[in-house]
Amino acid sequence: MKEGRIKSLDDKVVKYNPDVLRGTAWEYITMRQLLLHTSCVNWNEDYTNPQSDFAQLTQCEAHSNTYVCVNSLVKSPKCKAYAKPGKAWSYSSGGAWLLGDTLGKPLEKI
């Protein structure tokens, strides 16, 4: 907020990252909910499962088109809300990645 990247933690993240998030379950999540890991969007953090969302995210990060790869994970139809946003805590590397991606955009694009 101090840098002017966002106006409020209670703004929906889609306000700052519409190209990636519009039409997804993440569209309804606030910046605060991403920070607190209370998005309530399904994201499998099983570190022992090579098919988990976490494992796929890690593979995307090693991919030459990281952003395209991760965006396809985020836009996956399996990323659905399992509870009302803000009602449950669950660590989400996908949510953390979205937060970093959103806040890392050049100011003129926000």
| 67-105 residue pLDDT tens | 999 999 988 988 999 999 999 999 999 999 999 999 988
Q: What is the mean pLDDT of the chain?
A: 93
Give the pLDDT of residue 7.
94
Counting the structural domains of the chain, the total is: 1
The answer to the question of residue 7 being in a domain is no
What is the residue range of 37's domain? Answer: 13-105
Report CA dihedral (68, 94, 25, 31) to the nearest 10 degrees: -110
* pTM listed for this prediction: 0.88
Q: Do the domain assignments include residue 79? A: yes
Query: Does residue 3 fall inside a structural domain?
Result: no
**CA dihedral sign of residues 84, 102, 21, 55:** negative
User: Is 72 a member of any domain?
Assistant: yes
Specify the CATH number for the domain of residue 85.
1.20.58.710
